[in-house]
Amino acid sequence: MASERVILMPGMGVDGRLFGPQRAAGFDFESPPMPMPRRGGTMADYAAQIRDQLRLDGPCVVGGVSFGGMVACELARIAPARCVLLIASCSNATAIPGYCRPMEWISRIIPDFLIRRRAAVSARMMARMEGLNDEQYQLLRTMVTDAEVTKLRRFARMILGWKAPASFPCPIHQIHGARDLVIPLGGVRPEEVVPGGGHLINMTHSKEVNAFVARCLGRLEA
């Protein structure tokens, strides 16, 4: 295990409980609460907000699932990161399906209670698509129900407005599900692909994801 601080950030609408399978495997990492983004802030602004919150002034490894991985990419530009670990994520907003943009526009005028209701429905649909067991589904449903609507709206705007750089100051290691419908495989170039995996591979295919994380951290020690 690398001696640096390892920071893993969850995706949009979920929290650190998402990484239960990685904790169970014995990984030593931090998954801090994601703060409320500032109104009108960009992905780069948010990364700076998290850097200051965590006081990342020494060597570290940053990564995350989905939205969390996107934040990690920006964080790597302003913190002394040795590498980035992307799990079902991407390093550029061009990987996000085009239909997400009109959905985000519509969400701006939908009342909060309808957003919450939709989140609960989405959790059920995601559970079916991903093949979650009942325990995993209940956890997912609890996390999306607990999510703050204002935070979700701001996250969505940051994602669709993200202007990621063409290059990064450290290596980016990426694992992706072959059947990911949220960030389709065709839009990314991962070094590892999980056959049959969807968007929640850190839960449904934890063996493969844990092995990936272990290999990446092992390279740092070597």
Pinpoint the alpha helices (H) of the chain. 20-24, 43-54, 67-78, 100-107, 112-130, 134-146, 149-160, 201-204, 206-221
pLDDT of residue 113: 59
| CA distance from start to end of the chain | 10
Residue indicated by tokens 């092992």: 218
pLDDT of residue 126: 86
Between these two residues, 45 and 57, which has the higher pLDDT value? 45
3-state secondary structure of 42: coil
Task: Render pLDDT for 111-133 as a digit per residue (tens, 0 to 9).
Answer: 565 666 677 778 888 889 899 99
Task: Render pLDDT for 188-222 as a digit per residue (tens, 0 to 9).
Answer: 999 999 999 999 999 999 999 999 999 999 988 76
Task: Render pLDDT for 82-96 as a digit per residue (tens, 0 to 9).
Answer: 999 999 999 988 888
**Topology at the third CATH level for domain 5-221:** Rossmann fold (3.40.50)
Q: Take residue 13 and report the two structure tokens written for it.
A: 């609408």
Q: Is the pLDDT of residue 103 over 60?
A: no
Segment 210-213 long-range contacts (CB within 8 Å, at least 24 positions apart): 210/21, 210/22, 210/25, 210/27, 212/85, 212/87, 212/173, 212/175, 213/22, 213/27, 213/85
Q: Would you list the domain boundaries of the chain?
A: 5-221
pTM of the model: 0.91
Instruction: State mean pLDDT over 25-38.
Output: 94
pLDDT of residue 98: 62
Q: Name the pLDDT band for 139 (thresholds 50, 70, 90).
A: very high
Q: Mean pLDDT of all residues in the chain?
A: 89
Distance CA 122, CA 145 (A): 11
Q: Name the pLDDT band for 161 (thresholds 50, 70, 90).
A: confident
- Burial of 122: CB neighbours in 10 Å, binned 0-12, 13-18, 19+: middle
pLDDT of residue 210: 98
Tabulate helix, strand, coil % of the chain (nearest 5): 50, 15, 35
